[in-house]
Chain A
Amino acid sequence: MTDPTTPITCRDSTWLVSCARDGALTSAEARQLADHLGGCAACQVASRQFAQLFAQLDTLLARTDPAA
């Protein structure tokens, strides 16, 4: 089990961003991710990129259209 107080890497943070797409993170994971994002400029950018990409994916695949 991962120690929730252990800092995570950028690579770990991308893993958690992906996991969050499939279901809620545990509170420990969410905290680790938030802590990492708070101090990592590159991951802040990557996180926004993922958010933009996921939004476009939802539009392309009609995941957000209630009429679809």
Chain B
Amino acid sequence: MPSRSRAAASSAPDAGPWQALARERPFLLRLARLQLASTADAEDAVQETLVGAARGWQGYAGRSNLRSWLTGILRHKIVDLLRSRRVLALVDVAEVANAADAGFDALFTADGAWHPDTFVDTLCGATVLAQRQLLDIVELCMRRLPGDTARLFLMREYLGMELKEIEQHCMLSNANLRVVLYRARMRLRECAVRSWGEPDD
């Protein structure tokens, strides 16, 4: 159960935005650092997000989940940063492919069926994990993706960039990008379903 002070701080904008905003900073920074190679760029993007949010606090007025609101603002900051650069992110295709291969083939039999020894059939609805814990699991699994894979994955899943734009931006073929996204989603699923099956202590 949340403490009285924590609950009050999260629901009372008139207490001042900074306390609530500061609490979301670590998450935003982790997200930005997954996307931006430069730590300084990530910190700048997060700082601009928080300053912008503080300025727009009256307009926000609790109309959406605070983290969602900030995550949306940060998205625009990162997109602007990426698009302002000519060649943002050259990707080492071989490295991405090799990193994603680890353990992947064990998921399937030689004829392409799910391997009975490795297939995890847990559904998250069958667990007692709370929504916040489920999101923490997804974030943790995302942070386990190899660097270039995570950046490409988030360009698509977080920034919402079209495949063609990512291909041009990262000098990747459509086929390579699709494989990277596919492997990332497979890794994420594998990581998440294994955590869904863990008892909630």
Chain A residues proximal to chain B, CB less than 8 Å: 9-12, 14-15, 17-19, 21-23, 42-43, 45-46, 48-50, 52-53, 56-57, 59-63, 65-68
Residues of B whose CB lies within 8 Å of any CB of A are 31, 63-65, 67-69, 71-73, 75, 107-108, 111-114, 119, 121-125, 131, 134-135, 137-139, 154, 156-158, 160, 163, 178, 181-182, 185-186, 188-189, 192-193
Q: Residue B158 contacts which of A45, A52, A61, A66 (CB distance < 8 angstroms)?
A: A61
Establish whether residues B112 and A10, one from each chain, have CB atoms under 8 Å apart when the complex forms: yes
Task: Report the minimum CB–CB distance from A61 to chain B (whole Å).
Answer: 4
Q: A22-B181, A62-B68 are in contact. List 20 more A-B contacts (CB 8 A).
A: A10-B108, A10-B113, A18-B182, A18-B186, A42-B114, A45-B121, A46-B114, A46-B189, A48-B123, A50-B185, A53-B138, A53-B185, A53-B189, A53-B192, A59-B131, A62-B71, A66-B64, A67-B68, A68-B64, A68-B69
* A50 touching B189, Cβ below 8 Å: yes
Complex formed: what's the CA distance from A10 to B131 in Å? 29
From known contacts A9-B111, A10-B112, A61-B157, infer whether A67 and B72 are also in contact, taking CB-CB under 8 Å.
Answer: yes
| Cβ-Cβ contact count across A and B, 8 Å cutoff | 107
Main secondary structure, interface of B, reads: helix
* Interface pairs (19), CB distance under 8 Å: A18-B186, A19-B178, A22-B178, A42-B113, A45-B123, A46-B114, A50-B185, A50-B189, A56-B192, A57-B188, A59-B135, A60-B71, A63-B157, A65-B64, A65-B65, A65-B72, A67-B63, A68-B64, A68-B68
